[in-house]
Structure 1
Amino acid sequence: MKSINQTFVEKLKQQIPDNISTTDEIASVLGINYDAAYRRVNEKVPFTLDEVITLSKKFDISLNALYEINEPNSYLIRESKPIVNIEDIITYFEKLYKELSPLIGRDDASILFATREFPMFYFFHNPLLIRFKIFIWSTVLGILPMKKYIQFKDFEISDRLIKVAQKAGKAYNAVNVTEIWSFGSINNVLQQLLYLYNMRQIAQDDALLITDALRKELKKIEINTSFSKASTKRKFELY
């Protein structure tokens, strides 16, 4: 069986271009001399945890692929980088899907999700709600740079963004989940909608469509939490 160190070196070599020396690149990133890097590459000296994290961030290597070699029942996730533009949101949704995928169909795996807001995954079932969620992030939370008073009717997102969001939402719906909402989870999204309406950034017709879409999502959640619901093997609990 390969050691974690050996597997890590193999993944580093896959990420570093063939025309660049793996040893030189590791030495440069870690700020160590060539001999020290050479000993690590040839497994004379193991990488420290700090070095593994530094190199993983630099070369985008998932720690899951390393840790699960000896611990198949364990799973690691990484904190995402700050979102500053639309491409970052797409990358975030893609990574979200990758993090959820190993849990799909596993009876022994589940997610405990505590939130103060209406969970974003329920926005992902409807293109209108996806657009509304991104619009909230863009305006109310100030994540994305844009004109201060852009209208929702003029706000467009790409088909690619919609598809990756729906893909992440579908993966979440296939995983066993226990959700814990705060008392203000529903009120928060309604207050955001009201704020944008009062600021005249969302027209009444659009506000009503969004409200109706949210109501339908809540109805689905109510059905999923019903004890009489037996059409799915997914375990879902809401508190």
Structure 2
Amino acid sequence: MSTEPLPMQVLLFQHLKTLIPVHISMVDEMSSLLNISPDSAYRRIRGEKPISLEETKIICEHFHLSMDQFLHSQSDSVLFTSPPSLSKPNPFESWLDNLLRQLQFLKSQEKKHLYWLLKDIPMM
């Protein structure tokens, strides 16, 4: 088994560190989310043990991430996201939070380009 860190996996966990509040332990979050021991979580975070495709799926779904950003795909793919539900208690605030997350994601990318298409700003 190779002892070199896994680049995609290391990038994933580096990105997750920016998403998890500082008062929450990355190790505790991963061990709880993946139902693994803290030691196993440490090995995955450091890239010593590969995360499975299923674990990657769980992480991406939980944090609303696309694996595309970590695969360094050379395709001209475009990622679309749907707006948050307008049935939430504060739909405009939810929309702004979602917008902020998307812009933070865009800022973290090496090549940035934003196309914005909307008919109306969702307000209730």
State whether TM-score is above 0.5: yes
Asked if 1:58 is matched to 2:19, the reply is: no
Q: Structure 2: any 5+ residue segments left out of the alignment?
A: 1-5, 104-111
**Greater helix fraction, Structure 1 or Structure 2:** 1
Q: In the alignment, which residue of structure 2 is the partner of 1:46?
A: 50
**CA RMSD, aligned part only?**
3.6
The number of equivalent residue pairs is 104
Residue of 37, 44, 59 corresponding to 2:41: 37
Partners of 2:83 and 2:114 lie apart in 1 by: 23
Instruction: Report the structure number with the largest CA radius of gyration.
Output: 1
Aligned CA distance change for structure 1 residues 30 and 79 (closer, same or farther; 3 Å):
farther
Amino-acid identity (%): 23
Describe the SS at the equivalent of 1:32.
Answer: coil
Asked if 1:161 is matched to 2:112, the reply is: no
Note the alpha carbon deviations across 1:15-45, whole angstroms, 9 max, x for none: 1122222111100011111121111011111
> What amino acid maps onto 1:83 in structure 2?
S
User: TM (normalized to structure 2)?
Assistant: 0.61
Residue of 77, 101, 112 corresponding to 1:75: 77
Q: In the alignment, which residue of structure 2 is the partner of 1:185?
A: none
Q: Structure 1: any 5+ residue segments left out of the alignment?
A: 105-120, 125-129, 131-159, 163-239
Q: In the alignment, which residue of structure 1 is the partner of 2:13?
A: 9
Partners of 2:95 and 2:42 lie apart in 1 by: 37
Matches within 5 A, 1:67-216: 67=71, 69=72, 71-75=73-77, 77=79, 80=82, 83=85, 85=87, 87=91, 90=95, 94=99, 102=113, 104=115, 124=119, 130=120, 160-161=121-122
Q: In the alignment, which residue of structure 2 is the partner of 1:183?
A: none
Partners of 1:74 and 1:50 lie apart in 2 by: 26
Partners of 2:55 and 2:10 lie apart in 1 by: 14
Aligned CA distance change for structure 1 residues 75 and 21 (closer, same or farther; 3 Å):
same
Matches within 5 A, 1:223-234: none
